[in-house]
Structure 1
Amino acid sequence: MINFFFFLFLIIFITINYKIIRKNYLSDNLSNPLLLFGLFFFIIHMLLPYLQWVNSEFRYKSNYDIGVYIYSIFYTFLAYLLCFISFQIGYKSKDNKAKLNVSTQKVNFNLSKKLVNIIFKINVIVFFIGLYFAYKVYSQISVLGQEDYLRDRIGLGVGSGINMLLPHWIYISSLIFYFLYSSTKSTYKSQSKYSFVFFLISFLATTIYYSTNSNRNSIFILLLNILIIHFVFQKIKIKKLSFKNFMFLLFAGIIATILFYEIGKARYGTLYVGEDKFTLLDNLNGAFGNHENIVWMQESNYDDYFYGETYLAGLTNFVPRSIWSEKPLGAGPKMKNIIYPGSYVVGKEGNSSLTTGLFNELLMNFGTIGMLLGGVFFGFFMKYIYVKIKLSNSIINILFLQYTLIVFTSQFIYAEFLGFFSRYIITIIPFLIIKFFYYRNSLKIQI
């Protein structure tokens, strides 16, 4: 029965996405958020649940009722369909303008030499700030030992949230360095070379840092950002993809696969000492194993909803718990206590959390109906950002909005809102600083 429903959903999924992937230009495909959103949805809520059922490998129970299991996939898939439909119908009044491709708009893609230098200098500062805090975290992990750190990653961040967030600036600096290299290699070759060198250094630092704290998903998202930035501003026909661009795609895919597998394997070996078996399912489940949370809640008839409390936790995360001791917990700790009552206690050593994701967190807060309505809202949100990108006449604004769209249609689908939102706010600060200098410089030129 599970095979029938999985392939039925798969046929529907492929059919509705065919229109997206058959576009002539690679930039059109990569800039369309439905493609990335659909990819992550497929992995998290279709492929992985199917593989878990077929292999009888679950996190919380040895087995589940097949009716409930299919029901959970059906309602999540319905939420996805509503999201897809709301994106397609959203903001119809602007659709004619939105059809303009980024590469054909009157956008000033040629940054002035002065502005390139300003962005480069700002980004160097961003990189070294991120590197400093990354080194602090790396040193703490070295003292604890990676095995103890992986068993209690939450404990390291208690009371030092900003110290754990600022290392993400090396990730952002790497992305901006690549953008500078890509946008200046045909105009300002000297600046382009410096940008490329710093990109390699920052990318290496990012890879080492995220490998140390076993955050392979962040490396994957960084590569995804670089890939999209590389192609989204170019008018390249898929059928006429050059050998150079094909090799770039292939190389990025190989690097992402190797890092994703090796970091996952290292983490598995650390947490499960003596376990030699490490399968594709273990790898995927460790990174994207969110759907079983939904199955568990529905089979347990869980209805003690939080009505937005986990989202409030994300908005108030920057308030220290020492000031507000009763500050609400995020969805991860709450999900852990739902499945293992009393296992997460604020301030206790050895706390561990669970990853929730967009649809799981909507279900926790507002039930099945809330999950469906949340899908509609998310579809309108994606369309709003997408239209803003299409109508923007600023390359810096497009870069910032494109980054926002990428992380919301990838990372947000599997992450807890609290952690995701805090990280997003911190990582957009360099973009906002650069936007300030960009518009200030542009205004001076116009005057």
Structure 2
Amino acid sequence: MNGDDLIERVLRAGEKRADEVEVFYARGQSISTEIKKGILGTAEESEAWSLGIRTVKDGRIGFSSTGDPDRWKECLDAALASGRIASPQQWGGFPKPAGITSTASSADRNLVVDVEDAAGMVGDLLEGAAEHPVEVIGGAADLARSYLGIANTSGVFYGMDRTLAAVSLETIREQSTGYEFDASPFLADIDARSVGERSAFLAARSLGGRDIETGRYDIVLSPIAAASILGQVLLPALSGRNVKAGRSFLADKLGEQVFDERLSVYDDPFAPGLGSTTWDAEGVPTRRLVYVQQGVLRQFAYDLKTGYRYGEESTGSAVRSGTQGPGIGVHNLFVDGPRMKDLGGERAVWIHDVVGAHTANPFSGDFSVEISNPFWMEGGELAEPIRTAMFAGNVFEMLRELGGLGNDARRVGRLTIPSIRLNNQQIIGK
């Protein structure tokens, strides 16, 4: 039975027992290669299926999922059972079909899920790493192709293809390590050799770092470090669910200047990226959403459930992770603004990555993280390495006054972000 036939069968059975039914279906194949002890280790090919069912009866929403499509009847039973014990809520119905005419750049027709291609990326990773005197301690190259489908009893029936190419490499030189990665829907975007070289460079150049005294310094966050910190604080603050529940620092600030006037934040689901789509995880048409425009807060993100509960319109911001039900998220989020060719300027601490960003407080914005592969930066160039230290601050405060945005934006997951210079920040060192 193919995916479309399965969806139809679930809908027909479900609408006899519930007011509304929604089915989200995904199938895919992937190749995952692993680097062990500096060589290609295992290469695993797999196929995955998943089916998620939501039911609505008398305002009570039920959900269940399964990784075995043959067990769809049990999954439907479980969704209905969970709905019976759920609290009723305001519900305006699943979306009806919309005249979606735009397209999303989510799949590479030339990407083939093939062991030889994945092994070739591994070879490129190792070739790049060989440019520096390091040892490769781990890494991976992955290729995947999937099909996603969503349908409901209101008549929605959408489907799309997605592809993924991803590489990563971890290296070490004595006590100094380096890690780099990249991922894209498009194979041509992946420069595995460059990823390997950057990982090895970080490990080799970070050797012999000196202590830094505790104090306040100008710093430059690489796109990776900036994405790690902002992703844990800014994204939750833009969620309509957190806003309505009083768990967002930005809750009462619509229309206010909340950040530096050079900073804009927007979600563009039509831009090429890992989250590109013309419909969200509930079948609502997506659109470009500007959350922050030149520092002014313009809107928040909503899914259907939150929107109905609080009298707001869904912004097409529903996403799904694995076998979970839909929740509020982003598709392709951009942190943007006027760029500077050189963020070096005065001497600053350059930070490649951070450890512990998940401990940041998403409500207050406070964080304290360990910095990885820090260097002194002078004149836009990395100088001597710094021994690891801590960086502490507040996300909302540091975004109010930027030292500048770099001309080096890169995609980190679903977030595209440049380097960010921040002045007078707290570093906790020796």
When normalised by structure 2's length, the TM-score is 0.28
What TM-score do the two structures reach when normalised by structure 1?
A: 0.28
> Highest relative contact order (Cα 8 Å, sep 6+), 1 or 2?
1
From the CA coordinates, give the structure whose radius of gyration is larger.
Answer: 2
Considering fraction of residues, name the structure with more helix: 1
The structure with the greater share of residues assigned to strand is 2
